[in-house]
A and B are shown apart, each in its own frame.
Chain A
Amino acid sequence: MTDDAGFLVLAAPVLGSGLRLAVPLLFACLAGLWSERSGVVDIGLEGKMLAAAFAAGAAAATWHSPWAGLMAGMAASVALALVHGFASISQRGNQIVSGTAINFLAAGLTVLLGQVWYGQGGRTPQLEAGERFLGLDLDLGIARLLGETSGLGQIWSEAIAGHNILVYGALAAVPITWWILWRTRFGLRLRAVGDNPQAVDTAGVSVAGLRYRAVIVCGVLCGCAGTYLSVAQSAGFVRDMTAGKGFIALAALVFAKWKPFNALAACLLFGLLDAVAIRLQGTPIPGVGTVPVQVFQALPYLLTVVLLAGFIGRSIPPKASGIPYTKDR
């Protein structure tokens, strides 16, 4: 029992940091889920997150409010999402190519504008405490109830309570996404348009309209992901701050087989891997020795490749994803 408690006390901070690291992945992963469920493949999650992180950092610094940051982050991300939508829905262009363009556009413009506006090598100004989303004081006295130094108490205060509002927002987005996509008429149609757009079209519902709505939701969620990075997790934007998280989110989406609760599990797993890697840096594991950090960093990618190849279960995307819809024929 004491051993268990000791383990919990040790695990609590890692769990908490795993959750915090999973949040941007989760937002982006759900964003990809919306887009791809409607039939629009999106490898531009990374770019939208990056643009949102920059816009949020800049706006929060300008208007001294994290909420202004969130609005600006969403606006920037939705703008890019609409570019992607225009290319892939209206112009029936190649969605992978368009996503690639979005990624580079964000990578270039953020640093270029950041340098022109602030002259700090692409950074936005350091944010004060009041300009950021900080941890909420949400203890509710439960820690004392469980015993502040006990394992469970630690789990409560380190891993569950006291995160910033976007963390809970991301967690709430999971059931909301599930409910809308699987329990409403709009959601049914949206998923249908990703599997069989002809059928939806025949029923007299606009394929393009549904896909545009999905792409906008995708933009909003990527906006939250980016804002989280620059206004909640850090105090400002730095160049290339997404560092491939958009692609890990994409991997998580494959891993989750395009389902919301699986997405939560996959992102928590990847976030936890990240947290464990940080915790174990240079610390030998009994019986194994020191494991290079790179092993943990490589695991999400490796697992995804293995899963995609169908060696552990099969991950099959929505049938019509990636295929532009042409009305005639």
Chain B
Amino acid sequence: MSPSSRRELPALVDYALIPLLNLAVAFLIAGLVVLAIGENPLEAVAIMMRGALGYPEGIGFTLYYATDFVFTGLAVAVAFHAGLFNIGAEGQATLGGLGVALVCLTFDGAPWWLVFPFALAASMLFAAGWAFVPAWTQARRGSHIVITTIMFNYLAATLMVWLLVEVMGKPGAMSPETRTFAEATRLPFLRDTLAPFGIDLGQSPLNPMVIVAGLAAVFVWILIWRTRLGFEIRTVGKNPTAAVYAGIDPGQVVIVAMLISGALAGLLAVNEVMGTQHRLLLEFVAGAGFVGIAVALMGRSHPFGVVLAAVLFGILYQGGAELAFDKPKISRDMIVVIQALVILFAGALEHMFRPALIALFDRRRALAGGAA
């Protein structure tokens, strides 16, 4: 990763060919797993694509999943820029859900557009608050953020069980959950808004949060590449020692970056709790916080890449559900396998093909030199 070895390849190879190659290998191995199970991988891909993009309801579900993944992907990406691995988006989003539920239950019955800003604020505030302790201990006490955020995921899960079983839970409910919010307080489904225009989104729970997700991506782009804070975040991420000489306090930047990261993860809760489930459930985040890691790695921490990767994972989730229905042997756990392979090849093994490609380009250069 030294700068000299980076310059040996054209930018297009670095930013397009290598990531695509890594993804291709990940999906190739996923295909082999499908083959080993005894199904046809190409047929599986066809079913997934049809299920995810073939009809409006499928697209609605795909975008609804993608909304979650944009939020968590951006959360992980912002932390990556500051050189931090935020593995705690899951727990942060869980706490965001608590914030949303408290707001919705307090203003139960009030029109949704009145409650919406408070729900957004509460989700971000609670989630950022949950990110604060790991951030602060990393910045000021030198503990490792990976370990602390993992611990905070479990603490969030434990807290949630206690709250829903002992404190906030609806009495007599079969599973630990709060009461359902009043109809007026729920976010409207886009399927109802778009129905008069002849667009039938079926039962998909797509709601206005999909637009918020798009705005969040634009916000992160501006933040990282167009503001002073973004510059500081990137500097600390690249070289904390240099940052100190530039008059930046890395500790403070770490804390601020983690608060932003947590807040972004928290927004997922508005999509889920206020927009889809209309009540607070245990484990409503359902692993989306971890999908964010794959999404951020695949999108190379760029908001545009994150949105693309989130849509791809939306396709995988929605298409995977259809696939599991059509081919029971390929259960939805296949998505977790694909997620793992993406993290492995686009993340941990991202430089595997570099030496071979460098050798290839050197030979071509040598050949061109010899001819001239």
List residues of A whose CB falls within 8 A of some B CB.
43, 83, 87-88, 91-98, 100-105, 107-109, 111-113, 115-116, 122, 244, 247, 250-251, 254, 292, 294, 297-298, 301-302, 304-305, 308-310, 317
Residue among A101, A102, A107, A305 having the largest count of chain B Cβ atoms under 10 Å: A101
Q: Is there a chain A Cβ closer than 8 Å to B223's Cβ?
A: no
A230→B228 CA distance, assembly (Å): 53
A30→B151 CA distance, assembly (Å): 19
Q: Is there a chain A Cβ closer than 8 Å to B150's Cβ?
A: yes
List 3 A-B pairs, minimum CB-CB distance, nearest first. Answer: A108-B336, A104-B340, A98-B348
Least Cβ–Cβ distance between A289 and chain B, in angstroms: 13
Least Cβ–Cβ distance between B30 and chain A, in angstroms: 10
Q: Is there a chain A Cβ closer than 8 Å to B254's Cβ?
A: no
By a CB distance below 8 angstroms, the chain A residues around B142 are 310
By a CB distance below 8 angstroms, the chain A residues around B87 are 43, 96, 100
Beyond the given A95-B348, A112-B337, A301-B154, could you list 14 further A-B residue pairs with CB under 8 A, ordered by the A residue number? Answer: A43-B150, A88-B348, A91-B348, A101-B341, A104-B337, A104-B339, A104-B340, A108-B338, A108-B339, A116-B329, A247-B151, A250-B147, A297-B158, A304-B151
A87→B22 CA distance, assembly (Å): 13
Q: Is there a chain A Cβ closer than 8 Å to B229's Cβ?
A: no
By a CB distance below 8 angstroms, the chain A residues around B344 are 83, 87, 98, 101-102, 105
B348 touches A310 (CB 8 A): no
Q: Is there a chain A Cβ closer than 8 Å to B20's Cβ?
A: no
Least Cβ–Cβ distance between A190 and chain B, in angstroms: 22
A115→B330 CA distance, assembly (Å): 9
By a CB distance below 8 angstroms, the chain B residues around A91 are 348-349, 351-352
B151 touches A112 (CB 8 A): no
Interface residues of B in 95-116 (CB under 8 A from A): none
Per-residue A-contact encoding for B145-161, CB less than 8 Å = 1, 0 else: 01110111011001101
CB within 8 Å for A115 and B331 given contacts A96-B87, A309-B137 = yes
A298 touches B340 (CB 8 A): no
A113→B33 CA distance, assembly (Å): 10
List residues of B whose CB falls within 8 A of some A CB.
33, 37-38, 85, 87, 133-134, 137, 141-144, 146-148, 150-152, 154-155, 158-159, 161-162, 166, 290, 293, 297, 329-331, 333-341, 343-344, 347-352
A122→B147 CA distance, assembly (Å): 29
Contact of A108 among B38, B152, B166, B335 (CB under 8 A): B335
Least Cβ–Cβ distance between B151 and chain A, in angstroms: 4
Least Cβ–Cβ distance between B140 and chain A, in angstroms: 9
CB within 8 Å for A105 and B347 given contacts A304-B151, A308-B148 = no
By a CB distance below 8 angstroms, the chain A residues around B293 are 97, 100
Residue of A nearest to B337 (CB): A108
A95→B347 CA distance, assembly (Å): 10
CB within 8 Å for A251 and B151 given contacts A87-B349, A96-B146, A109-B337 = yes
Main secondary structure of the interface of B (DSSP, over half): helix
A163→B333 CA distance, assembly (Å): 35
Least Cβ–Cβ distance between B136 and chain A, in angstroms: 9
A98→B346 CA distance, assembly (Å): 10
B340 touches A94 (CB 8 A): no
A98 touches B347 (CB 8 A): yes
B147 touches A298 (CB 8 A): no
Least Cβ–Cβ distance between A103 and chain B, in angstroms: 8
A105→B297 CA distance, assembly (Å): 16
A112 touches B343 (CB 8 A): no
B152 touches A101 (CB 8 A): no
22 A–B contact pairs at CB < 8 A? A97-B297, A97-B347, A100-B293, A104-B343, A105-B337, A105-B344, A108-B337, A109-B337, A115-B331, A116-B329, A122-B333, A244-B154, A250-B147, A250-B150, A251-B147, A254-B147, A298-B154, A298-B159, A301-B158, A302-B155, A308-B141, A310-B143
By a CB distance below 8 angstroms, the chain B residues around A92 are 351
By a CB distance below 8 angstroms, the chain B residues around A96 are 85, 87, 146
By a CB distance below 8 angstroms, the chain A residues around B337 are 104-105, 108-109, 112
A294 touches B348 (CB 8 A): no
A301 touches B141 (CB 8 A): no
Residue of B nearest to A315 (CB): B143
Contact of B334 among A108, A302, A304 (CB under 8 A): A108
Residue among A96, A104, A294 having the largest count of chain B Cβ atoms under 10 Å: A104
By a CB distance below 8 angstroms, the chain B residues around A298 are 154-155, 158-159
B333 touches A111 (CB 8 A): yes
A100→B296 CA distance, assembly (Å): 13
B331 touches A112 (CB 8 A): yes
By a CB distance below 8 angstroms, the chain B residues around A109 are 33, 333, 337
Least Cβ–Cβ distance between B334 and chain A, in angstroms: 6
B133 touches A305 (CB 8 A): yes
